């Protein structure tokens, strides 16, 4: 695809001291979203670099290699940490941001990409030196002043702003990314929306830790993944909230919520701090709805091993979302589910279980989505089984043969059916079929080892087949083939 140059460089190089003035801005002035973008150029002064032998790098790939989303993620580097400093301007529906990205080059890099959708970039530096930046659809292409050596750690700072707009990602349900509802803002990114509010290597394969410094109007409350660091700091009419997510996290799981929230103590489950973030207008109802969280953590601890993160809780926003999303340590739900009381048990259990299967262990590619949704569905059935309801075998058989749409193979649903029923139900049924083939002891060993051996990382369907065969000593190719890839729904 053609690249659009957007960097105008006014370079004034003097032999003794080089003063370089960079003006970086998007050229599409007709974009109405630019209105709130803030300054469109910056000035910085840099000393001349006394360089050693120059590195000859090559461009990092524009995608990480996901078969369903070729443009998602990038090649040539691995991010360790993102620092997101964002100011939320609800009157303009806009953000002003500075994202600092600590990464390591996995090849010698002449340039590299970040994923960023919309917004206006006003400055990019790499290791303190101004870098050239161009936009190409949802890619931000960064060319550092000097190439980066393979294995080198480097820090990129991107200054940007504008009105974040959710993007369509082909999964056909709704647009993902930063969501605005009046004064309230929150994030629903799965699978490809994180780039709507920060420049990111947007793929689960590149997990990182995060720190947040979010500034909002003084009367609003900010909540993110992880836990707060200190008390919020007041400015003129504003309040700045710092927090940290210490455990590596996939970008689609980042949550930043800003609104009229009440932060509610949900007690503890062992060492796990439970805190819910509930829109004030539905806090009373949501307290009741979320009351079984600790009990649910206990049941899942027993299935998958200890809850993997420092905190957990539910974020309830003031809008009927029609779904929930397992944003790490802080599952987001809407007004609808928040007011369901006990009827929400299944879905709350489902999102909680994603903290192990989905968040701690994430899909290696988006084609592997059933590893999230099939496992989370199966977790609902285990909860039922362990709390006096129908067994998993009964839940799975209640589905068998009831729906024609289960003839779509969950192991390769395609982007448009990424979140379709088959991925959830037939995915769960596949695990029941596995359980019946290998027996309970092997099956629960597989679940535990699955989580333990891939914690903090990603895993693929092939990894699950290999582990299941190792634990059970059986050849299971035919079973997984039937359940995951053959068109027709098998019978249990």
Q: CB of residue 324 vs ligand ARG: minimum separation in angstroms?
A: 6
Q: Select the span of 40-48, 74-82, 299-307, 369-377 touching Zn ion (CB under 5 A).
A: 369-377
Q: Does 376 bind Zn ion (CB under 5 A)?
A: yes
Q: Which of ligand ARG, Zn ion, none does residue 218 bind (CB under 5 to 8 Å by kind)? A: none
- Position of tokens 């969950």? 410
- Mark residues 367-386: x for contact with ligand ARG by CB under 6 A, - for none: ---------x----------
Pick one of 39, 47, 173, 229: the residue that binds ligand ARG (CB under 6 A).
173
For residue 293, give both structure tokens.
């969280």
- The torsion of the CA quartet 215, 221, 224, 226, rounded to 10 degrees, works out to 110
CB-side neighbour CA atoms (13 Å) of 318:
16
Q: Which of ligand ARG, Zn ion, none does residue 323 bind (CB under 5 to 8 Å by kind)? A: ligand ARG
Pick one of 176, 249, 314, 459: the residue that binds ligand ARG (CB under 6 A).
176
Extract the runs of DSSP E, i.e. beta strands, from 357-460. Answer: 361-363, 457-459
Q: CB of residue 350 vs ligand ARG: minimum separation in angstroms?
A: 6
For residue 337, give both structure tokens.
């589910």
Which residues 6+ apart lie within 8 Å of 394 measured at CB?
Answer: none
**Triad 31, 33, 38: Cα angle to 5°:** 110
Strand 208-217 to 120-126 pairing: unpaired
For residue 360, give both structure tokens.
């701690």
Pick one of 165, 419, 455, 474: the residue that binds ligand ARG (CB under 6 A).
419
Q: CB of residue 343 vs ligand ARG: minimum separation in angstroms?
A: 16
User: Please, which of residues 289-328 interact with ligand ARG by CB under 6 A?
Assistant: 323-326
Q: Does 185 bind ligand ARG (CB under 6 A)?
A: no
Q: Which of ligand ARG, Zn ion, none does residue 171 bind (CB under 5 to 8 Å by kind)? A: ligand ARG
Q: Select the span of 26-34, 225-233, 262-270, 371-379 touching Zn ion (CB under 5 A).
A: 371-379
Q: Are 203 and 181 in contact (CB under 8 A)?
A: no
Q: CB of residue 371 vs Zn ion: minimum separation in angstroms?
A: 11
Phi then psi dihedrals of residue 181, to 5 deg: -135, 90
User: Please, which of residues 72-111 interact with ligand ARG by CB under 6 A?
Assistant: none
Minimum CB distance to ligand ARG smaller for 131 or for 176: 176
Q: Select the span of 157-165, 168-176, 267-275, 390-398 touching ligand ARG (CB under 6 A).
A: 168-176
Q: Are 255 and 315 in contact (CB under 8 A)?
A: yes
Minimum CB distance to ligand ARG smaller for 366 or for 450: 366
Q: CB of residue 419 vs ligand ARG: minimum separation in angstroms?
A: 4
Residue number of the CB atom closest to ligand ARG: 173
Q: Are 92 and 163 in contact (CB under 8 A)?
A: yes
Minimum CB distance to Zn ion smaller for 22 or for 304: 304
Q: Select the span of 92-100, 132-140, 199-207, 376-384 touching Zn ion (CB under 5 A).
A: 376-384
Q: Which of Zn ion, ligand ARG, none does residue 318 bind (CB under 5 to 8 Å by kind)? A: none
Pick one of 83, 139, 190, 202: the residue that binds ligand ARG (CB under 6 A).
190
CA–CA dist 83, 98 (Å, integer): 8
Sheet holding 184-188, edge to edge: 177-181, 184-188, 256-259, 221-224
H or E element in which residue 311 lies: strand 311-312
Q: CB of residue 224 vs ligand ARG: minimum separation in angstroms?
A: 19
Q: Closest by alpha carbon to 431, among 446, 414, 421, 448?
A: 446
CA–CA dist 256, 273 (Å, integer): 19
For residue 478, give both structure tokens.
């035919």
Which residues 6+ apart lie within 8 Å of 16 measured at CB?
Answer: none
Q: CB of residue 348 vs Zn ion: minimum separation in angstroms?
A: 11
Q: CB of residue 190 vs ligand ARG: minimum separation in angstroms?
A: 5
Phi then psi dihedrals of residue 66, to 5 deg: -85, 125
Q: Are 335 and 387 in contact (CB under 8 A)?
A: no
Q: Select the span of 25-33, 70-78, 171-179, 378-386 touching ligand ARG (CB under 6 A).
A: 171-179
Q: Does 355 bind ligand ARG (CB under 6 A)?
A: no
Q: CB of residue 127 vs ligand ARG: minimum separation in angstroms?
A: 36
H or E element in which residue 129 lies: strand 129-130
Q: CB of residue 379 vs Zn ion: minimum separation in angstroms?
A: 9
CA–CA dist 27, 46 (Å, integer): 25
What is residue 70's three-state secondary structure? coil
Pick one of 373, 438, 447, 471: the residue that binds Zn ion (CB under 5 A).
373
Pick one of 134, 156, 159, 171: the residue that binds ligand ARG (CB under 6 A).
171
Q: Does 66 bind ligand ARG (CB under 6 A)?
A: no
H or E element in which residue 385 lies: helix 370-386
Instruction: Check residue 423 and give left, alpha or beta (phi > 0: left; psi -120 to 50: alpha).
Output: alpha
Contact positions vs ligand ARG (CB under 6 A): 171, 173, 176, 190, 323-326, 376, 419
Query: What is the contact surface with Zn ion in residues (CB under 5 A)?
Result: 373, 376
């Amino acid at each position: 695809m053609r690249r659009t140059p957007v960097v105008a460089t006014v370079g004034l190089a003097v032999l003794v001291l080089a003063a370089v003035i960079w003006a970086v801005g998007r050229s599409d002035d007709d974009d109405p979203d630019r209105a709130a973008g803030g300054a469109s150029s910056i000035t910085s002064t840099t000393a001349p670099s006394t360089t050693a032998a120059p590195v000859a790098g090559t461009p990092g790939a524009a995608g990480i290699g996901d078969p369903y989303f070729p443009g998602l993620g990038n090649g040539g580097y691995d991010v360790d940490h993102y620092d997101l400093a964002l100011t939320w301007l609800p009157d303009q529906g806009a953000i002003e941001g500075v994202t600092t990205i600590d990464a390591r080059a996995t090849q010698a890099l002449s340039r590299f990409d970040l994923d960023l959708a919309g917004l206006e970039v006003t400055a990019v530096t790499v290791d303190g030196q101004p870098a050239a930046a161009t936009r190409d659809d949802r890619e931000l292409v960064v060319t550092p002043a000097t190439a980066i050596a393979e294995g080198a750690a480097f820090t990129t700072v991107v200054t940007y702003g504008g009105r974040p707009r959710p993007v369509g990602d082909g999964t056909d349900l709704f647009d993902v990314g930063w969501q605005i509802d009046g004064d309230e803002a929150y994030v629903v990114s799965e699978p490809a929306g994180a780039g709507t509010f920060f420049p990111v290597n947007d793929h689960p394969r590149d997990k990182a830790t995060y720190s947040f410094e979010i500034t909002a109007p003084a009367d609003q409350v900010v909540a993110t993944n992880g836990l707060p660091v200190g008390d919020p700091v007041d400015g003129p009419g504003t309040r700045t909230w710092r927090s940290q997510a210490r455990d590596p996290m996939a970008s689609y799981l980042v949550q930043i919520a800003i609104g009229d929230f009440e932060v509610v103590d949900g007690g503890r489950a062992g060492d796990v701090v439970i805190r819910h973030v509930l829109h004030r207008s539905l806090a009373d109802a949501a307290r009741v709805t979320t009351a079984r969280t600790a009990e649910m953590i206990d049941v899942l601890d027993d299935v998958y091993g200890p809850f993997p993160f420092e905190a957990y809780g539910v974020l309830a926003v003031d809008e009927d979302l029609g779904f929930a999303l397992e944003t790490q340590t802080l599952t987001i739900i809407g007004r609808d589910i928040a007011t369901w009381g006990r009827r929400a048990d299944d879905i709350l259990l489902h999102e909680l279980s994603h903290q192990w299967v989905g968040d701690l262990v994430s899909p290696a590619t988006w084609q592997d989505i059933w590893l999230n949704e099939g496992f989370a569905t199966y977790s609902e059935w285990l909860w039922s089984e362990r709390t006096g309801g129908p067994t998993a075998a009964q839940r799975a058989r209640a589905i068998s043969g009831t729906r024609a749409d289960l003839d779509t193979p969950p192991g390769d649903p395609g982007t448009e059916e990424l979140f379709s029923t088959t991925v959830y139900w037939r995915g769960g049924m596949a695990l029941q079929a596995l359980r019946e083939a290998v027996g309970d002891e092997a099956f629960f060993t597989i679940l535990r080892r699955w989580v333990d051996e891939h914690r903090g990382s990603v895993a693929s369907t092939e990894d699950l087949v290999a582990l299941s065969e190792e634990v059970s000593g059986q050849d299971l190719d035919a079973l997984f083939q039937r359940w995951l890839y053959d068109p027709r729904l098998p019978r249990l």
